[in-house]
Amino acid sequence: MSTFSGDPKAFDVDTFTGDIAGSCLCGNITVTIFNKPNLFKERNGHQCFCSNCRKFSGCSGSNNIVIGKDHVRVDDPRGPIHTLPTDDADDFYVLPLGIFPRIPAPEFELFSAHKHDWQAHNEGVKRYKYMSSSGEMG
């Protein structure tokens, strides 16, 4: 029988002290979220079902976190990053949570109106019709 690595439950959130590192698929780029001890104690991050996120992720939506740049370190020792998705006017990043060993429970979802009929609703997750300014769905 095969064994598979990558079970997120293998990352024990009870031992989490505030730092978590993730990487891209090839492992050349590491992203570390630091000094966020409540990352798993509170709902964090969000899911988005807009067409950009579907295309970008190649999936039915994306799991992201909006987080202050002062809590993020990007290590690119071999230099494959040619352009950073930065807008110096922004003091935050939108990070894809799938790069980390475990994903915190989402706080809200965007573009709920664009979910497929077969997609379930996660209990306790606020659902915005489109962006948060568009208001919550019932």
Contact positions vs Zn ion (CB under 5 A): 48, 50, 53
Helices (H), the chain: 51-57
Q: Which is nearer to Zn ion, 33 or 53 (CB)?
A: 53
> Distance between terminal CA atoms of the chain?
45
> What minimum distance in Å lies between the beta carbon of 121 and Zn ion?
17
In the complex, minimum distance from the CB of residue 106 to Zn ion, in angstroms, rounded to a whole number: 13
33 vs 48, beta carbon nearer Zn ion: 48
E-strand spans in 8-114? 20-23, 30-33, 46-48, 62-68, 72-75, 92-96, 108-110
For residue 138, the minimal CB distance to Zn ion (Å) is 21
Give the side-chain half-sphere CA count within 13 A for 67.
20
Task: Closer to Zn ion by CB, 20 or 53: give it.
Answer: 53
CB atoms within 10 A of CB 26: 8
Query: Token pair for residue 42?
Result: 């509170």
- Nearer to Zn ion by Cβ, of 50 and 74: the residue is 50
Min. distance of Cβ 137 from Zn ion in angstroms? 16
CA dist 6 and 77 (Å) reads: 24
